[in-house]
């Protein structure tokens, strides 16, 4: 499965950089395929391992404030792997054909 998520402390002021860095560090240390962009971090793996990483990242952000906002979107497609890059590659190939 792919999970794209965004997590941030509420009431921590304008900058949430340190909190987000703590979350991204947990994602990267998990060893799961992942990508971070300006809005979301996406990771790929099995349900339990992905959700464990999201939980630990959310808990890390929670240490920066008393409330946490979590936005999560999942693409659950059993039997598929490599979709973190595969989905983008298929779109790029379609763009090259036109």
What confidence category does residue 56 fall into, taking pLDDT thresholds of 50, 70 and 90?
very high
The pTM score is: 0.90
Residue holding tokens 């693409």? Answer: 75
Tell whether the model's pLDDT for residue 32 goes beyond 70: yes
pLDDT tens digit string along 66-89?
899 999 999 999 999 999 999 999
What confidence category does residue 11 fall into, taking pLDDT thresholds of 50, 70 and 90?
confident
What confidence category does residue 12 fall into, taking pLDDT thresholds of 50, 70 and 90?
low
**3 neighbors 74 (Cβ within 8 angstroms):** yes
The CATH number that domain 2-96 falls under is 3.30.70.930
**43 neighbors 75 (Cβ within 8 angstroms):** no
Domain range annotation of the chain: 2-96
């Amino acid at each position: 499965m792919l999970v794209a998520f965004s997590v941030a402390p509420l009431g921590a002021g304008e900058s949430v950089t340190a909190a987000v860095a703590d979350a991204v560090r947990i994602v990267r240390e998990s060893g799961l395929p992942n990508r971070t962009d300006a809005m979301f971090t996406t990771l790929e793996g099995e349900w339990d391992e992905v959700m464990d990483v999201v939980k630990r990242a959310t808990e890390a952000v929670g240490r920066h404030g008393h409330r946490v906002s979590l936005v999560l979107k999942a693409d659950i497609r059993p039997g598929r792997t490599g979709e973190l890059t595969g989905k983008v590659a298929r779109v790029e190939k379609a763009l090259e054909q036109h």
